[in-house]
Amino acid sequence: MKINRLLSLLLLLFISISSLSAQVSIAPVFVFMNDGNSFGSFVVMNGSNQNQEIAVDFLFGYSSTDSLGNGFMVYDDSVAYEKFAATDWVRAFPRTFIIEPGQRQTVRITARPPTGLADGMYWTRIRTASNPQAPSIDDLAVEGLRTQITFRFEQVTALFYKKGALSTNLRLTNIQGDRTENGFSALVDIQRTGNAPFFGTANVKLRNTSNEIVAENVFPVSVYFDGTRRFTLPDNVPNGTYTLDITFVSQRSDMPNNDIVQVNPVSLSGQIFLQ
């Protein structure tokens, strides 16, 4: 009986978290500002049937990769914070508020960069936390234990501030390919140049000895600093010799092109052997 009640509680918790994640939505997920217009905004929408308490704050972070090309988020880089963080000089209005069911609230952002800020792109993350004004699970009892649980759901989006003349580019080296338990993986070492992150897509193609494409895919990419990138394709090709092509272009479906620092396509090809 105790196990059944615990399983029921865990299932209810899972359902409640899944439901909550769909209740509050944010648009856009990227906010761009610049020294000619130090104002931005995003919209918080309540799709639930409860009042939602909202709190907005900022934290510095960026996407990175480990030595194997696997992605993760970095939130504790004090050196990068000193050079690139906009966290300390952006403000959100309002910072806390309540949205009624079916309603939306525009959050306005102002930037007051320090005097003498060098040309470049600066950034921070917008953390929007939400929870129902009334607890979503009330007075649960498990073997005589009375408990009350309220979920706080956080969504993290990105804010970028563009100052002066911007440039970015990529240098690609050491292209490789191998098989993993998740499929075929293409790896490439990337050096980022310029004073702004690279935003775009990576077009990855695998060609056989007859120059036929046997596997391909397109991946959204954000390159803040140097590192190794891994791109995994379904592994449906036989053993043999192939040509691996990777091309980075400064376009993304989820970002306006005029907000992306444009560069010419950057490509690298190499021969690999799969076994």
Tokens found for residue 131: 């929870």
Equal fold, 2-10+23-163 vs 168-274: yes
- Position 143 scores a pLDDT of 53
Q: d(Cα 42, Cα 95) in Å, to the nearest integer?
A: 12
Dihedral angle sign, alpha carbons of residues 256, 257, 261, 265: positive
Q: d(Cα 175, Cα 187) in Å, to the nearest integer?
A: 6
Selection from 214, 210, 211, 170 nearest residue 194 by Cα: 170
Per DSSP, what are the bridge partners of residue 155? Answer: 128
Fold annotation for 168-274: Immunoglobulin-like (2.60.40)
Asked if 206 and 215 count as a contact pair (C-beta separation under 8 A), the reply is yes
Selection from 179, 186, 121, 127 nearest residue 156 by Cα: 127
**Domain boundaries, given as residue ranges, for the chain:** 2-10+23-163, 168-274
Burial track 53-79 (b if 16+ CB lie within 10 A, e otherwise):
bbbbebebbbbbbeeebeeeeeeebee
CATH code matching the domain that covers 2-10+23-163, chosen among 3.90.1150.10, 1.10.10.10, 2.60.40.10, 3.40.50.300: 2.60.40.10
User: Each residue's pLDDT tens digit in the chain (275 positions)?
Assistant: 444 444 444 334 434 444 444 589 999 999 999 998 899 999 999 999 999 999 999 999 999 999 999 999 999 999 999 999 999 999 999 999 999 999 999 999 999 999 999 999 999 999 999 999 865 455 545 555 555 566 789 999 999 999 999 999 999 999 999 888 778 899 999 999 999 999 999 999 999 999 999 999 999 999 999 999 999 988 778 889 999 999 999 999 999 999 999 999 999 999 999 87
